Amino acid sequence: MTRSMRSRFRDEPPPPPRPEPEEDKEKGRPLLTLFGNLLVLVLIVGLGALAISWIMNDISGEYYGRDRQLGYVRMGIMRKATSLVGDINYGTGAPLVMTHGEIRNGTDLDLSFEVPQKWVQEGKPYRAVNFKGKLEGSTIKGILEDSGINFEVTLTRSALNSLFRQLQSHMPWTG
């Protein structure tokens, strides 16, 4: 039985050879692939540059500083579509939330903070402060007015915390 199977395959002609690929079709393909890859790289670099520029020029972020009289000062600002929201902490007082925020000329800040109304209703003392300053690159220099006393403060932006704050400001569930 095995002998008849062998003879049957021996009698068939060998399969035809594979056709050789034409060199003309393959000649321009590596160059086209190179240009396609180059286009993708330029697109990625361009979008990356736009993203970095947006991150660096947005005021949203966390700003930190030290003052001899106030102690450690932290201000968080988030730019929403039509307004600013934020908070400020310093000294041993309660954190204050922003009630009014305005940016004029892209660099002049006029911010007001106060103790949340919920806390005032629970018996915490009412406190309000005003901050007027100027944004200069990644630094905010200004005057913090608390109880009629003016304090000059310089706040420096924290890059990593600011990136988180910017991403947070664009999430739909952050209100």
Q: Tens digits of per-residue pLDDT, 103-154?
A: 888 788 899 999 988 888 888 888 889 999 998 888 899 999 988 889 999 9
Query: 172 to each of 80, 168, 169, how far by Cα in Å?
Result: 11, 9, 8
The band of 52, judged by pLDDT with boundaries at 50, 70 and 90, is: confident
The CATH number of the domain holding residue 105 is 2.40.128.120
* In-domain check, residue 49: yes
Query: 99 and 142, same structural domain?
Result: yes
38: containing domain: 23-56
How many domains is the chain built from? Answer: 2
* In-domain check, residue 144: yes
Report the alpha-carbon distance of residue 91 to residue 66 in Å, rounded. 10
CB within 8 A of 103, min separation 6: which ones?
59, 84, 109, 135
Report the alpha-carbon distance of residue 49 to residue 57 in Å, rounded. 12
Query: 69 and 99, same structural domain?
Result: yes
CB within 8 A of 105, min separation 6: which ones?
none
Query: 80 and 40, same structural domain?
Result: no
Of the two residues 115 and 5, the one the predictor is more confident about is: 115
Domain finish residue from 11, 36, 56 = 56
Query: 29 and 80, same structural domain?
Result: no
Phi, psi dihedral angles at 174 (to 5 degrees): -90, 0
Bridge partners of residue 7, in order along the sequence: none
Phi, psi dihedral angles at 164 (to 5 degrees): -60, -45
Environment class of residue 136 by beta-carbon count within 10 Å: exposed (0-12), middle (13-18) or buried (19+)?
exposed
For range 87-100, the mean pLDDT: 86
28-50 tens-digit pLDDT: 678 888 899 999 999 999 998 88
Query: 128 and 112, same structural domain?
Result: yes
Query: 117 and 153, same structural domain?
Result: yes
For residue 30, how far is the Cα from the chain centroid? 38
Query: 144 and 96, same structural domain?
Result: yes
* In-domain check, residue 6: no
Q: What is the DSSP letter of 28?
A: S
Q: For tokens 């006029």, what's the residue?
A: 110
Query: 28 and 41, same structural domain?
Result: yes
